[in-house]
Amino acid sequence: MKSSHRLRLPAAAAAVTAAALVAAGCGSSGSSSGSGGAAAASAPGITATQILIGSHQPLTGPAAPGYSEIAPAANAYFQYVNAHGGVYGRKIKYTYLDDGYDPAKTVSVVHQLVLQDNVFAIFNGLGTPTHLAVVKYLNSTKVPDLFVASGCDCWNNPAAYPYTFGWQLDYVREGKILGAYIKQHFAGKKIGYFYQNDEFGQDGVKGLDMEIPHSQVVSRQSYVPTNVNIGPQAAALKASGAQVVVSFSIPAFTALLKLAALKLSWNPTFVVSDVGADPITLAGLLEAFAKKGGATVSGNALTQGIITDGYLPTLGDGSNSWIALFKKVHDTYDAKAPLDGNVLYGEAVGYAFVQAMIKAGKNPTRASVVKAVEGGLPQGPSVAPYDYSATDHGGMMGAYIGVIKNGAIVQQGPVWTTDTSPTGPVTQYSGTQPAAPASGMP
């Protein structure tokens, strides 16, 4: 082996690096600030005919099941809006990139969206650890970060993150509302917690503890999504004598808990977070077992009686004008996906975005859309109003309690609202949900 070639290699490396990078730089398909630039370009991503927004979503990987339906559903609503004139004549173009629920990848795709594609805003970025990786970047580059798809209350921080807004009911509030219901209806009973060992489950438990007396809680079992064997946790819950199990779990683990209870011949009352209680998803997960579990043929039999909460109208409520609207949009633009809670979520948050853009005016800028949301958004498909203001970027305030009956959630009682503080009460909401606009556009 010649030794002189050793010197060539590092230099060759440098040359090749440069060549590769320059080639990559030149070869990249256009983008940058290419499209448009005529009179109506008031901000990056806005042209006379188009609003370009981006998002990071887990389209593959461990979080994909279920969550991957949300972005196509939002896009379906945007297509509906585009077909009906758009927002001041501009069509919404929604680019959502896969981050596989990996925060390092989230940083990469968000950089791509902001720096290369020049999106106007990041919309509905999904996941708490993933979005935490990019929230500082988005705020320092003054990119609107609208309606994060996560129930963490960390997005409600106007001082540190002025461009970031939450949307859905946060997990602490949800815990409080569920907790208040349990305190009222299951007084004296033994309560067991089953929760995901991350911010979703831990915040939920925080909320529950603000309402349920500590003496009632006999067992707290956590799980991690990477370990599907939750038999030991179920056995521990049963051994503690829990009569009511509150579960802050994703649908797969709600189903696994139900299966484990079957194996233990144990039948407590289940109270499950909205995240893990979508009846259609659960029935799908349990259907193969319903036949063997001694129940009747549909998976719905195994979900009967599960208590949960909801911040959007229930899909089972045929008379609700929002469900009718979203069903129509789904059937036209997203028919391949099952009409379940994730699709409803996606369309509802898409509606909120259109509301914000309309309010931002004919020539929106990044700053003007932020101001628009801070000025308050009228209540839309959510059952409780939004509390957006200059000092509150949280989003929804409340939810109703429901019970799963025959594969659909049936509302029980009124809508409840609360805050995230330990002493704030859970109060009944006396207003009513406005009807969906006839045109389907805000």
Partner 1 sequence: MTEFLQFTLGGVSFGMVYAAIALSLVLIWRGTRILNYAQGAMAMLTTYIALTVITHTGSYWEGFIVALAAGLVLGAVIERGVIRPVENRPPLNAVVVTIGLLVLLEGIAGIIYGGQYRSFPTAFSLNGLHAGSVPLGISRNDVFVAGAVLVAALALWALFRFTPAGLRLRAAAFNPRAARLLGVRVGRVLTLGWALAGLIGALAGLLVSPDTFLYPSSMDSIFVLGFTAAVIGGLDSPVGAIVGGLILGVLLNYVGGYLGSNLVPLFGLIALMGVLMFRPSGLFSVSHARQV
Partner 2 sequence: MTLLRHLAAALVAGAVIWAASVQLSAFRDFQMAQVAVYVVAIAGLSLLIGLSGQISLGHGAFMAIGAYATALLSTHLNWPWWAMFVASAAVAALAGVIVGLAAARLSGPYLAGATLMLAVALPSLADQFPGVFGGDQGLSVNITAPAALGAAFPLTRWQAWICAIAALAALVILANLSRSKVGRNWRAIRDDPIAAALSGLNVARLRVLAFIVSAACAGLAGSMLAVTTSLVSPGSFTLTLSITLLAGAVLGGLGSLVGALWGALVIVLVPTYVTDVATSHGLSGGAAANIPIAAYGIVLIVVMLVFPYGIQGGLRRLFGLVPAAPPVRLTSPRRPGPADDQAEDHDSPFRRPPVSEHQEEGTP
368 touches partner 2 by CB under 8 A: no
**Residue 50 lies near partner 2 (rule: CB under 8 A):** no
Compute the least distance from the CB of residue 384 to partner 1, in Å.
Answer: 30
- In angstroms, rounded to a whole number, what is the distance separating the alpha carbons of residues 167 and 284? 27
Phi then psi for residue 353, to 5 deg, are -65, -45
x/- letters, 154..193, toward partner 2 (CB under 8 A): ----------------------------------------
**Which candidate, 158, 117, 120, places its Cα nearest to that of 356?**
120
Residues 175-204 that bind partner 1 (CB under 8 A): 197
Partners of 398 in beta bridges: 417
Kindly give the pairing relationship between strand 91-98 and strand 121-123: unpaired
Judged by CB, which is closer to partner 1: 255, or 307?
Answer: 255
Can you list the alpha helix ranges (DSSP code H) found in 84-127?
103-111
Q: Using the rule CB under 8 A, is 297 a contact of partner 1?
A: no
**Binding-site member from 4, 215, 265, 432 for partner 1 (CB under 8 A):** 265
Contact segment (CB under 8 A) with partner 2 among 47-55, 109-117, 213-221, 268-276 equals 109-117
Residue 404: Cβ-neighbour burial (10 angstroms; 0-12, 13-18, 19+)? buried
CA 374, CA 388: separation in Å to the nearest integer? 5
Task: Identify whether the C-beta of residue 79 lies closer than 8 Å to the C-beta of residue 85.
Answer: no
Coil vs helix vs strand at 24: helix
Q: Is 61 helix (H, G, I), strand (E, B) or coil?
A: coil
- Residue 292 near partner 1 by CB under 8 A: yes
For the CB of residue 61, give the shortest distance to partner 1 in the complex, in Å.
7
Q: How far is the CB of 23 from partner 2 (least distance, A)?
A: 10
Our CB check for partner 1 shows the closer of 19 and 228 to be 228
> Which CB, 54 or 341, lies closer to partner 2?
54
**Using CA atoms, how far apart are residues 332 and 299, in angstroms rounded to an integer?**
27
What gap in Å lies between CA 34 and CA 21, rounded to an integer?
21
Counting residues that bind partner 2 (by CB under 8 A) gives 58
Q: Hunting for tokens 């207003």 — which residue is that? A: 431
Rounded-to-integer distance, Cα 254 and Cα 252, Å: 6
Does residue 145 interact with partner 2 by CB under 8 A? no
Nearer residue to partner 1 within complex by CB, 112 or 222: 222
Q: Closest CB to partner 1 among 222 and 365?
A: 222
Q: Does 286 sit near partner 1 (CB under 8 A)?
A: yes
SS (H, E, C) 186-251: CCCCCEEEEEECCHHHHHHHHHHHHHCCHHHEEEEEEECCCCCCCHHHHHHHHHCCCCEEEEECCH
Task: Tell me, residue by residue from 217 to 236, as one string, x for binding to partner 1 by CB under 8 A and - for no binding.
Answer: -----xxx-xxxxxxxx-xx
Residue among 36, 199, 59 nearest 120 (CA): 36
Residue of 17, 363, 389, 391 interacting with partner 2 (CB under 8 A): 17
Query: Residues 121, 122, 132, 172: which binds partner 2 (CB under 8 A)?
Result: 132
Q: Which does 103 bind (CB under 5 to 8 A by kind): partner 1, partner 2, none?
A: partner 2
- Smallest gap, in angstroms, from Cβ of residue 151 to partner 2? 13
Q: And the tokens for 278?
A: 């979508």
> Which residues have CB under 8 Å from 92's CB, separation 6+?
50, 51, 53, 78, 81, 82, 86, 353, 354, 357
61 binds partner 1 (CB under 8 A): yes
Tokens of 69: 């339906």
**d(Cα 381, Cα 313) in Å, to the nearest integer?**
7
What region, left, alpha or beta, does residue 376 occupy, with left being phi > 0 and alpha being psi -120 to 50 degrees? left
Residue 335 within binding range of partner 2, rule CB under 8 A: no
Helices (H), 361-391: 366-374
Site for partner 2 contains 124 (CB under 8 A): no
**Judged by CB, which is closer to partner 2: 334, or 387?**
334
**Position 22 contacts partner 2 (CB under 8 A):** yes
Number of H helices and E strands in the chain, helices first, is 14, 12
Question: How do beta strands 244-248 and 217-223 pair?
Answer: unpaired
1 binds partner 2 (CB under 8 A): yes
CB of 97 to partner 1, least distance (A): 16
Considering the complex, what minimum distance in angstroms separates the CB of residue 204 from partner 1? 17
**If you ran DSSP here, which 8-state letter would residue 100 be given?**
T
Which residues of the shown chain bind partner 1 in the complex (CB under 8 A)? 59-62, 64-66, 68, 197, 222-224, 226-233, 235-236, 239, 251-252, 255-256, 259, 262-266, 284-289, 291-294, 299
Q: Which residues bind partner 2 (CB under 8 A)?
A: 1-2, 5-7, 9-18, 20-22, 24-25, 29, 32, 59-60, 64, 68, 71-72, 75, 95-98, 101-105, 107-108, 111-112, 115-116, 128-130, 132-133, 136-137, 140, 152, 197-199, 202, 224
